Amino acid sequence: MMKIIFLTLIALSVSCTCFSQTQTNTYSLVLENASVVNVTTGKIAYKRLIAISGDTIKAIDDTKKVKQYKADRYIDLSGKYVMPGLWDMHVHFRGGDGLIQANKDLLPLFLSYGITTVRECGGDMTPSVMNWRKQITEGTLAGPRIFTSGPKIDGPKSTWAGSLEVETPEQVTKALDSLQKINVDFVKIYESKISGQTFLDIITQAENRGLTTSGHMPYSVKLKDAVERGLDASEHLYYIFKACSSKEDSITNAIIQSENTARPIGLFAALPSIYNTYDAKTADRLFRYLGKRKFSLVPTLFISKTLNAIKETDHSADKLLPYIDSKLQATYAGRVNSAKRASDESTAFSKKYALKASSLIPQMQRRGINIMAGSDCGAYNSYVYPGESLHEELKLLVASGLTPAQALQSATINGARFMGVNEFYGSLARGKSSDLIVLDTNPLNNIQAIDQINMVISNGKAYNRLELDKLLNSIKR
Ligand SMILES: [Zn+2]
């Protein structure tokens, strides 16, 4: 449904282009002398002007022709770099009714870090999220555009509050009915308590309805079986990494055998044997297969790094902590305590695994897998602050071996492609969205450039640095 609305908007905005140029020649905003970053080609076009009307770019032209572009407002961007607004492809709004305002207060944080779109991957306050999204689109609330899965689908007695719990095919049908009724943008499947059969059934039924699916995955399922049925994306690296093992079959069988015993083998118990049987040829075959299928992957490197380092990190002076509601901060305790309880041995293994799994990302990219940057920020996910965490994710993607341009693609056009709206979002061109960010230095030379945000245009409204700081101050405790 959202896609239909988006496509209608695209059609309207494209068809208006000629009219506004020839008839009135008036734009709401003209950016002059901009260095425009093309994240797809990794090239820069210098001395450009960008003429904007509302939420749409009406023209990109030589700055010398600025006299031909009558606008309400001109901004000189000499020496600055312009690129599409950033997309965080994995965030959460959650924590129960008592945290609705605390979650809403995260919206300005995203915007001030140049995140103009987020993909929410399951939460427990969907009516509020739908409401914010409406207000943001209407321009009455400052925040990123929101794509949402609504509640997660999981098995009985699921880990996350608000999940739709299913066991039988009929319950799957009902759950998907309820998600379609509220017009979610994709289906997020979780694996805390779900059987392999039910997991695959969700994918099959969702595929039959033309819905996009993404998930965690029970280790009793093989990734290829899920992808063959239509799974579109994998969150985190665990599931793809498992399928890189030369012993995937026997490991999966052992997990299935253990399911109804006193000691079922969970994800973390299976990981060392998967790590030890990693096979380069199996991995390459898998990546080619996934690439051909245009499969998407959200590696979420930064949250792993943060959790793996919790024991030795003092977060009490984090500069963004004062921007997080204390009730939301209180939800951090669970992950902090479990990370602290982990033995030094298991923490050391987690670090070793994270390094190995992330080192595969450039090869996945080469084989055509659609890599999407996502932070996993939100309640419970300790010290992964909205906005900043996506910047850190991009730096880690570059550290893993992606070029800065590829990392920027993962946070712009790749997300728009996954959501089926890349005709309008994720790149800068005539007829496309004016959601963009202005940087002080060239992000293609050094990814750290994304930390120096000079201006954000979101939904047709331009925020300079002063205005972004004002937004931030409005949520400072
Ligand atoms: Zn998550």
Per-residue pLDDT reduced to its tens digit, 124-162? 999 999 999 999 999 999 999 999 999 999 999 898 999
* Strand blocks (E) in 121-237: 145-148, 153-154, 164-165, 187-189, 213-215, 233-235
The string of pLDDT tens digits covering residues 366-398 is 999 999 999 999 999 999 999 999 999 999 999
Q: Is the confidence at residue 16, as pLDDT, over 90?
A: no
Task: Find the farthest-apart pair of alpha carbons in the chain and give their distance in angstroms, rounded.
Answer: 77
What does each C-alpha distance from 340 to 261, 313, 343 come to in angstroms? 28, 11, 8
Domain boundary assignment for the chain: 2-83+430-473, 85-418
CA–centroid distance, residue 358 to ligand 1 (Å): 17
* CATH superfamily assigned to domain 85-418: Metal-dependent hydrolases (3.20.20.140)
First to last CA, the chain: 38
The string of pLDDT tens digits covering residues 327-337 is 999 999 999 99
Q: Is the confidence at residue 5, as pLDDT, over 90?
A: no
The string of pLDDT tens digits covering residues 98-115 is 999 999 999 999 999 999
> What is the reported pLDDT for 25?
57
Q: Is the confidence at residue 171, as pLDDT, over 80?
A: yes
Q: What angle separates helix 169-181 from helix 196-208, to the nearest 10 degrees?
A: 50
Q: Which pLDDT band, with edges at 50, 70 and 90, does 352 fall under? A: very high
> What is the reported pLDDT for 193?
80
The residues placing their C-beta within 5 Å of ligand 1, an ion, are 376
Question: CA dihedral defined by 51, 54, 57, 62, rounded to 10 degrees?
Answer: 0
CA–centroid distance, residue 456 to ligand 1 (Å): 26
> What is the reported pLDDT for 7?
46
CA–centroid distance, residue 92 to ligand 1 (Å): 6
Q: Is the confidence at residue 8, as pLDDT, over 50?
A: no
> What is the reported pLDDT for 17?
42
Comparing 2-83+430-473 with 85-418, is the CATH topology the same? no
Q: Are 88 and 119 in contact (CB under 8 A)?
A: yes
CA–centroid distance, residue 52 to ligand 1 (Å): 35
pTM of the entire structure? Answer: 0.94
2-83+430-473 classified as CATH 2.30.40.10: yes
Q: Is the confidence at residue 21, as pLDDT, over 60?
A: no
Give the separation between CA 34 and CA 389, rounded to whole angstroms. 27
CA–centroid distance, residue 90 to ligand 1 (Å): 6
Give the separation between CA 33 and CA 81, rounded to whole angstroms. 10
Q: Is the confidence at residue 433, as pLDDT, over 80?
A: yes
